[in-house]
Copies of this chain bind each other. A is one copy, B any other.
Amino acid sequence: MTLDELRAGVDAATLGRELYDCVTDLYPLCRSLTGDGLRETLRRLQRRVPLTVHEVPTGTPVFDWTVPKEWNIRDAWVKNARGERVIDFRRSNLHVVSYSVPVRRRMSLAQLRPHLHTLPDRPDWVPYRASFFNETWGFCLSQRQLDALEDGEYEVCIDASLEPGSLTYGECYLPGESSDEILMSCHVCHPSLANDNLSGIAIAASLGHYLRQVSLRHSCRILFLPGTIGPITWLARNEAAVGRIRHGLVLVCLGDAGRFTYKKSRRGDAVIDRAAAHVVRQAGDHVVEEFSPYGYAERQYCSPGFNLPVGRLSRTPHGCFPEYHTSADNLDFVRPGQLAGSFAACLDILDVLEHDRVYVNQSPRCEPQLGRRGLYREVGADEMAMLWVLNQSDGQHSLLDIAERSGCAFPALRRAAAALERHGLLKEAPVR
């Protein structure tokens, strides 16, 4: 199957439903940097995408870091004097600070208070908090819940373990014609948060599912990694092979209603930067952000010792929507249509990466006579796209170059080039 056939074969409504179902399925699991919630997430994704699951033991050195202890949680609660669970992990896994050490104590509200986190400005929302590298414990709750707590003694229990174990991540490799790779990467360490990470997970999994069926020039590698320590571990274990990565995308926050935001790689002018900028520009309202050393896995991919051509595709970026890292980033915040639109943008970018080529006009002195070849009526090839491809195809400009100069959409140029090539007016340039 070709990429075009894939796109023709899957309708947006079906796709949106599939993506949203995936988000819904994974939403209740208590993911963290390590542990069984993350393992179960990858297990479920394996139904849909051919995923190798890696386990890296606690204590393994990975560059300047060490793989941390594994965290697992069974239950957690705060009970009031009447024995009622006033904070209950079973109701939402956000209620426990991720990586909390085990605790079982009685204490007064005053003693408990420093361990309770709320969002006073959003009194109905529960914040998401984690403390991966400081051993501590805590609960998150809404401001209204906190305000309702009476003075008195509370019983506190976090039935968790923080012990040697392993760090888990998933990897899907789809071999293409060439060993040149396109990397796609998402993070899998957040618990019940729908946009900030499940949207990226669902799209990455669907990319794996569908692209497995497609013949591509590039090989594709799709990574499902916990944040920070995940890409660091993957890079440390695959250092020798990163030279094959030609293009890469971090996928995150792709289910909300915002416009697309593409954040450039550290290089700033990599092909992925230009391809993604072209695609989001064609999509209408959009933002192209310069690189900054903050955010998600791009921080590691774009560290100066790697400097990989990896950008980030989002809709509204992290921290720019109030629901970010709160219980309001829930199943209502992401929508099937928005997920499907993001998936389509990924395919559009892939389409550029796969089909960007340099051609040479075989009739370069004056325009060739398109009319007598019936090319003005050629299905799917518009005249301006043909004129641009002919004019710029001097062996120096790729279709993406032409897309940038002309403002024509890449697919129109690609179809124009194909039509011209069929009529002998264009030949692919020898590889430079």
Q: Please tell me the size bucket of the interface on A.
A: 35 or more
- The residue that A366 contacts in the complex, of B231, B387, B391, with Cβ under 8 A, is B231
Q: How far is the CA of A406 from the CA of B294 in the complex (A)?
A: 11
Name the B residues within 8 Å of A372 (CB-CB). Answer: 133
Is A152 part of the contact surface with B, judged by Cβ < 8 Å?
A: no
In the complex, are the beta carbons of B303 and A367 less than 8 A apart? yes
Is A149 part of the contact surface with B, judged by Cβ < 8 Å?
A: no
Q: 1/0 per residue A362-387: CB within 8 Å of B? A: 01111111011000000000001001
Is A302 part of the contact surface with B, judged by Cβ < 8 Å?
A: yes
Most chain B CB neighbours (cut-off 10 Å) among A62, A290, A367, A405: A367
Is A83 part of the contact surface with B, judged by Cβ < 8 Å?
A: no
Name the B residues within 8 Å of A292 (CB-CB). Answer: 388, 406
Of chain B, the residue at the smallest CB distance from A360 is B304
Is A393 part of the contact surface with B, judged by Cβ < 8 Å?
A: yes
In the complex, are the beta carbons of B304 and A391 less than 8 A apart? yes
Q: How far is the CA of A134 from the CA of B371 in the complex (A)?
A: 9
- The residue that A64 contacts in the complex, of B306, B307, B369, with Cβ under 8 A, is B369
Identical chains in the assembly: 3
In the complex, are the beta carbons of A293 and B366 less than 8 A apart? no
Shortest CB-to-CB span from A93 to chain B, Å, is 24
Of chain B, the residue at the smallest CB distance from A66 is B369
A64-B368, A232-B366 known; A390-B305 Cβ under 8 A: no
* Residues 296-321 of A at the B interface (beta carbon under 8 Å): 299-300, 302-307
Shortest CB-to-CB span from A273 to chain B, Å, is 15
- The residue that A365 contacts in the complex, of B306, B366, B368, B388, with Cβ under 8 A, is B306
Q: 1/0 per residue A104-142: CB within 8 Å of B? A: 000000000000000000000000000001100000000
In the complex, are the beta carbons of B302 and A391 less than 8 A apart? yes
Q: How far is the CA of A300 from the CA of B369 in the complex (A)?
A: 12
Q: How far is the CA of A266 from the CA of B406 in the complex (A)?
A: 12
Q: How far is the CA of A79 from the CA of B294 in the complex (A)?
A: 76
A266-B391, A372-B133 known; A367-B294 Cβ under 8 A: no
Q: How far is the CA of A384 from the CA of B363 in the complex (A)?
A: 50
In the complex, are the beta carbons of A300 and B64 less than 8 A apart? no
A64-B363, A64-B368, A365-B63 known; A387-B304 Cβ under 8 A: no
- The residue that A294 contacts in the complex, of B361, B387, B405, with Cβ under 8 A, is B387
Of chain B, the residue at the smallest CB distance from A62 is B366
In the complex, are the beta carbons of A366 and B294 less than 8 A apart? no
Name the B residues within 8 Å of A363 (CB-CB). Answer: 63-64
Name the B residues within 8 Å of A394 (CB-CB). Answer: 304, 307
In the complex, are the beta carbons of B133 and A305 less than 8 A apart? no
Of chain B, the residue at the smallest CB distance from A363 is B64
Of chain B, the residue at the smallest CB distance from A307 is B394
Is A239 part of the contact surface with B, judged by Cβ < 8 Å?
A: yes
- The residue that A305 contacts in the complex, of B63, B266, B303, B361, with Cβ under 8 A, is B361
Is A235 part of the contact surface with B, judged by Cβ < 8 Å?
A: yes
Is A333 part of the contact surface with B, judged by Cβ < 8 Å?
A: no
Is A392 part of the contact surface with B, judged by Cβ < 8 Å?
A: yes
Q: How far is the CA of A161 from the CA of B239 in the complex (A)?
A: 76
Shortest CB-to-CB span from A288 to chain B, Å, is 16
A294-B387, A388-B293 known; A235-B302 Cβ under 8 A: no
Shortest beta-carbon contacts, A-B, top 10: A305-B364, A305-B365, A293-B391, A304-B394, A293-B387, A64-B368, A232-B366, A300-B366, A304-B364, A63-B366
14 contacts between A and B (CB under 8 A): A63-B365, A63-B368, A134-B371, A236-B365, A293-B367, A293-B384, A293-B387, A293-B392, A299-B387, A303-B366, A303-B367, A304-B393, A305-B366, A306-B366
